[in-house]
Chains A and B, each alone.
Chain A
Amino acid sequence: MSTEREHDDGDSGRTGTFGDYGGQYVPEALMPALQELEDAYERYVLENEDGFMDEFRERMRDFGGRPTPLQRADRLSERYDREVYLKREDLLHGGAHKLNNALGQVLLAKYMGKERIIAETGAGQHGTATAMAAAHLDMPCEIYMGRTDVNRQRPNVYRMRMNGAEVTPVEAGSATLKEAINETMRDWATTVERTHYVIGSVVGPHPFPKMVRDFQAVIGDEIREQIRETAGRLPDSVVACAGGGSNTMGTFHAFVPDEDVDLVAVEAGGSSLEIDEAEGLAPNSATLSTGTDGVLHGAMTKLLQAGDGQIVESHSVSAGLDYAGVGPELSHLVETGRVTPANVDDEAALDGFHRLSRLEGIIPALESSHALGYLERAAGTAADGASGDEPRAEANDELGDLVVVNVSGRGDKDLETVLEETEKRDLEAAPDVEVFDQ
């Protein structure tokens, strides 16, 4: 990692803070493990001790399928009257960017002499990636997953089981990612001496947010190289969806020092941006756009919370974005204005899902579909099929002439949800879904 970047991320040192965000707010029992992990991260990841990073890169290539392509999206480019490129993390082994981090952490756990892997999962993509990495590296693995997510992401539950992982449903609360994280932390606090907790995003206590970002930074590093090669310059804007923010930070990290490149983090607007404090519900997961500062799952960051500090239940049509927190570094980059937060609602995401499937032959994850929904909105009127001579909407200038969208994962896991949700709506880009029921 170049030191130049370290300066720019606002990291102020030992306890791993990014401006006001980050830190280590965990039970005392876990503190020695975090110290041990920080030491291992510094030695193996930052200093390549024992050739750790060489082995990681080799496995990412041979097992993972890196580098992933940066593809010019011809019909989207035409539709939006600008160059649109897609970073194809959906083509990574397992079908999402999550493998970059999962393989990195499971390998690190192995170097550290840990005997057991645990992880939480929302969409099941992180759980799947962790189960695959654990099978690949021969480590026993247990995955916690909220009951709601078990029910809406069945294909991934099967895949985890196929790869030998134990999947433990969590029944508490809304039974989604937040509850799964709580339960994994409880397991970790009990078994910390021999177990490594593979956190699935750039969240949690230091050193997780930095370490996960570094494992994911390969996305942006590759984009930089690939776009220079194909377009001869850096993009005007880079767009990625944000749940916890790991594909976002992975995509953005290489571009943070390039002030001319706009970085847009697209969150789940759900069905509304309001929070119902009495019910403790947010019908969205738009933490960066609407959240307030607080401490959750080990870090100070932006949160969806009621005024008195209770964390509210979030919502998104996509399980992987359905989280009331967000990575502390992303909170910091939004606070300093380097990253622009945006959000689109469930409907726009579904529309984005169908549009990419129809126009480009790529079925994206519902998470990634939020980035595509944003592209449609920000790219403005050219989109409405109006004549090409119409001036671009004002929003166009924000995106610029050369746009990269990260397709963080593929949508096979989401087909059932998409059919069900599409039936309820009148979506421009959707096919007639009724035929599926015949």
Chain B
Amino acid sequence: MAEKIKFGFLLAGGCAGCEMALVDMSEKLLDALGHLDVVFWAPTVADVKYKDLEAMEDGYIDLAFVDGMIRNTENEHTVKVLRQKSKTLVAFGACASLGGIAALGDCHSQEELFSQAYKDTFSTDNPDGIYPQPECTWEGKYDLTLPAFTNRVSTIDQLVEVDYFVGGCPPHHDFIAQLVQAIVSGNLPAKGSWLTSGKAVCDICKRNPADHDQKRLPIGEVFRTVDGRPDEDKCLLQQGYICFGPVTQGDCGASCLNVNIPCRGCGGPIPGVRDYGARCVSTITSSLKDDETAEEFVKKFNDMAKFCYRYSYSAGILNQKLTPGK
């Protein structure tokens, strides 16, 4: 048997959901672990410190996954170090590849975010309005530091070179199993590509009208998910529930659609799409019936940027150039 693959896993600014998804592979993970030698898995699973990572030789790790976005200086630093130490780096999940939910914070100023998190919430007791500081001196003699908040949320590839991308919030475990299989067998596509099937959610979705010999019709009325309960068998988009299935990669097996929830695009854009939100606008609005429906759509969804870029705000063409909160 070939030598084991040295494997690293870093949680940057994420929620650890991607780690959970990896653990959800259950027996398949055990099979895979036979081929993997986990040398770094921080800060969640293995007890390896950042300094141990820094002490490794360059290119020591064969394969590293990063999940989570770059939100502070600690993420910046560790991702850069990990890039140096790894032969292959995979941006794992929607946050790492596209920015994820946290990137929507860029629609607000830092002041707004901090006052929401540390002052205004119902359960927060902070009458002096104390915010975390990157540096402070305690009792006049101890210099304490915290990672500093970055101006913007960045995806991994905006900071370092990334070899492969995987979408999903989190990636579906069946899909990760195939992925790990592909990596272990060394069956990999060209660098810079997404390790996905390249099919849209609609291709996988059981409700696709094309599979039932039905024609796609223009949408005359737009609904939000709170407006009612969609028919469980019919295409959600055809019923007027806005669904991003046509432009999203369907490696999830259309999981949300299976439970009557419209796709919101965590799988990442289908191949050939440069800007996810813009392509959503393009695809969804051209299926609307007339200008009045478009107006209704705009009225019903009061923040179109957050809606269309729910998982991909950082990866947008224009968004990285805007000042947060303006």
B is a partner of A: no
